[in-house]
Chains A and B, each alone.
Chain A
């Protein structure tokens, strides 16, 4: 048996090993993904009542979907809002994180510290810390505004209003200031992924192009960008998913499913939401994948 496997051509062996390498994941995929997906799909068309024997599932067809889209108080509004937010923030985050990664990749004094700092949002703004900061932290903000007599943004806008600036301009400034913080704290992972990609570009490429007389501007467009282009794809996927996961839609779904214990409706919302992400991502990936360069 073993000798027969050994005698197989390299190509076939490679395929066999491929199946083996992927096998643990495949097991989990079938058991912890496909199966729950099918179950949740069935739930989304049903009304579910807990009973003595477990669950009572009654098929009601498209009812849940109709409810989610047309009857629920704010599901459809939140869905549209989060799609718009993703469309606006995606290019901003991608460009910003690439810019910062290029900046951090250069040689300058204190770059170790700067790099360490830029990854901190990944630690702080994820999970329980973020929720405690935003939930329990309301006290905190109260304390801060008490002790520092009003936030500085408010002071600034008041100052600008008094000095006779147009309201529209002030609003714009305020939104920019607000989003800067958001963009910075959302881009930690993306910066890191870009940075590791930039590090992997062999310095010979840069050297050669310098000798050929390329300017830094040309080097960026002709070498850096194509070499990190696979990572643009990675980051796009990550950004879209992350933005959606943090959006208020997931909150609505969770509340409906668990707190409101209307799991059928929750499941149908989750499915609508999933399809929306899928379509958006498909379009963006299709556009981007034409520009990706693999070193093969």
Chain B
């Protein structure tokens, strides 16, 4: 009976139509629901940013503020020293991104395709750098950077060791040697990608007379667009948001994340000191105002990333679509 029914349904294409509708509905509900869960804090941020102090205290106003105001944003900008720190953070993150992508790409290819004796053991080292919590090695590293020297070279030429603490160079050196923020993960991503490429690609290049370097730059680099873009996005965003390494090695830097991190404890003082400049001190600093300003500050830090991501997203998707090896 069931079989007959099925055959009948299939004959008229009913079953597949209903099934497709059902799948679409389920997918739609799932995606919209999940998107809402993700967007909720952002919507909350947006609604609070332009909210007037009076509105925030008014229990009848939940989402849409009655009186729009720029005071919160102005205060937050003043506290974060926004234009300067934005520029510094942007340039710094960009430099780190480029360095990390190049170094990790090279290492990833080396581990995946140019194996030499002991390279598997060294790759276990990469895994170890991912696994070891940075807390474990941070104090010895701190001391290393205080008296920085490579094989006694600096001492030989300048007579003393270099103090790299509180200079961007300590972070740059880390990125250049593949030990930056999450570098291990990036090497892993590149290696997994290169390992997944068919070996025939390389053999064909060899037969056509390309050496290792030529193969890498002419075949592998164009192929690796997708992991490269992934890694670039990650490294930019994580550098932008990082407080752990930055505060230890580059604590006096004009970085947005550091300034935001300090807000938690110094917010009230910062608002008081700024208030006199911007609007005069007729307002008192209430916890509600503090939270409104903290909100605006968070949005100011996140907004450039969101805008950048809006543009990078398209690049990113086409990047992954083109990179798959066809045929």
Interface residues of A (CB under 8 A from B): 10, 13-22, 24-29, 31-33, 35-37, 39-40, 43, 54-55, 100, 103-104, 106, 108, 112, 114-124, 126-129, 131-133, 135-137, 139-140, 142-144, 146-149, 180-181, 184-185, 189, 192-193, 195-196, 199-202, 204, 230-231, 233-234, 237-238, 241, 244-245, 250, 253-254, 257, 263, 266-267, 270-271, 273-274, 277-278, 281, 294-296
Contact = CB atoms under 8 A, between A and B. Distances in A.
A21 B144 contact: no
A211 B150 CA distance: 62
Interface stretch (B1-9, B106-114, B274-282): B106-114
B101 interface: no
Contact of B237 (A32, A33, A39, A123): A123
A148 B111 CA distance: 55
Contacts of B94: none
B309 A123 contact: yes
- Cβ-closest 3 pairs across A and B: A28-B177, A18-B114, A127-B241
Contacts of B30: 103
A276 to B, nearest CB: 11
A132 B261 contact: yes
Nearest to B261: A128
Given A40-B136, A43-B139, A116 B313 contact: yes
Main secondary structure of the interface of A (DSSP, over half): helix
Nearest to A192: B230
Interface in B160-185: 174, 176-179, 183, 185
Nearest to B107: A25
23 contacts: A18-B113, A19-B116, A22-B110, A24-B176, A25-B106, A25-B126, A33-B129, A43-B139, A55-B143, A108-B27, A123-B305, A128-B241, A132-B260, A133-B41, A146-B59, A147-B56, A147-B58, A199-B324, A202-B325, A202-B327, A274-B136, A277-B131, A295-B196
B272 interface: no
B38 A184 contact: yes
Contacts of A234: 188-189, 192
B18 interface: no
Interface string B127-150: 111111101111111011000001
Contacts of B150: 31
Contacts of B305: 123
Residue of B110, B119, B256, B257 with most chain A CB atoms under a 10 A cut-off: B110
B122 A26 contact: yes
A22 B122 contact: yes
B38 A118 contact: yes
A27 B125 CA distance: 12
A205 to B, nearest CB: 11
Contacts of B128: 33
Contacts of A263: 139
Given A17-B114, A32-B177, A196 B320 contact: yes
B302 interface: yes
B107 A250 contact: no
B234 A119 contact: no
Interface string B40-56: 01101000100000001
Contact of B48 (A54, A55, A143, A295): A143
A181 B267 CA distance: 28
B137 A18 contact: no
Contacts of B199: 296
A30 to B, nearest CB: 9
B158 interface: no
Given A116-B310, A137-B294, A267-B136, A106 B178 contact: no
A195 B227 CA distance: 11
B306 interface: yes
B48 A140 contact: yes
Contact of B291 (A37, A139, A250): A139
B34 A184 contact: yes
A120 B195 contact: no
Nearest to A253: B135
B37 interface: yes
A112 B313 contact: yes
Given A13-B211, A29-B178, A36 B141 contact: yes
A103 B31 contact: yes
B13 to A, nearest CB: 16
B321 interface: yes
A115 B297 CA distance: 26
Given A17-B110, A19-B116, A32-B177, 16 more contacts: A18-B114, A22-B107, A22-B122, A29-B179, A32-B141, A39-B140, A100-B34, A119-B309, A120-B306, A121-B38, A124-B302, A129-B241, A136-B264, A199-B320, A237-B185, A238-B185
Contact of A116 (B198, B230, B309): B309
A199 B321 contact: yes
Contact of B140 (A26, A35, A121, A133): A35
A132 B264 contact: yes
A35 B58 CA distance: 58
